[in-house]
Amino acid sequence: MGGEDPGPKGRRVTRNRPVPKVSAEDAAFVRGLVIHEDGKVIVFNKPSGLAVQGGGGVAQSLDDLLAAFAKSNGKRPRLVHRLDQGTSGVMITARTQPAAAFLSEEFASRRTEKTYLALVRGGLPASDEGALDAPLVKVAEAGRPRMIAAKPDRKGAQAAVTHWRILSRAGDAALVEARPETGRMHQIRAHLSIAGMPILGDWLYGAGAQGAPRLMLHAAKLSVRHPDGMEMRFDAPLPEDFRQLAEKLGLQSGL
């Protein structure tokens, strides 16, 4: 979500599928990503480059690696939302079907709060904060789906709102905090590009590798209600390559 694809609904994650075998090395890798674990949820700090789901030539995905947490009956944690492959940061999964249904509804009903950090470059606005209220529609270009701005009455157009704040700026570069109100595919990426400040390393909405070797978008915080009812907030520290590029650009992250 949050500029990423919306997650699967609870009713769609209950299908029985073969549980992939996970090597000891891969199991250690995915367990090293855990930032919170209890009987109903597991929260990860997903690295950039790790796909959330398989398909489309993906060799390894977080969904496959969740088999490392499978119970003796073969049931494994379920995805309830998504991040793009290039996006790093907080991802929550459900350990049980009831927890998956609960969390999926929390995301669908916009009761979660997501905070992203992005390194951008372009025609920065004079203001340090604002909201991008621009409906988006999915189109296919050269077989690749992407989101473009659309009139509200266009067929397939989806309302999309992203609140943003510039935390630091240096010339035409900035560190931006983005808080998506809605959860459309690629929402933050598309909105910041439409605003004239595409995310560095974004091959679809920006200049790609000319700006950075990978997408500089990080899901830093997630506030969500736990299936047991309590409000919880999870934080993922900035990846080192993100922090180093921010410093190289003269941006003060303070994070």
Active-site amino acid positions: 84
With the C-alpha atoms ordered 216, 108, 13, 138, is the resulting torsion angle positive or negative?
negative
Between strands 88-94 and 217-225, the pairing is parallel
DSSP state letter for 10: G
Residues 91, 47: contact at Cβ < 8 Å?
A: no
Task: Tell me which DSSP letter residue 210 carries.
Answer: G
Kindly write down the DSSP assignment for every residue of 51-82, as one continuous string.
Answer: BSS-BTTBS-BHHHHGGGG--TTS---EE-S-
Could you tell me if 221 and 90 are in contact, meaning their C-beta atoms sit under 8 angstroms apart?
Answer: yes
The closest alpha carbon to 7, from 160, 136, 112, belongs to 112
CB atoms within 10 A of CB 125: 15
**Residue 219 in contact with residue 116, Cβ under 8 Å?**
yes
Contacts of residue 124, defined as CB under 8 A and 6 or more positions apart, other chains included, come to 166, 169, 172, 174, 196, 197
Q: How far apart are the first and last CA of the chain?
A: 23
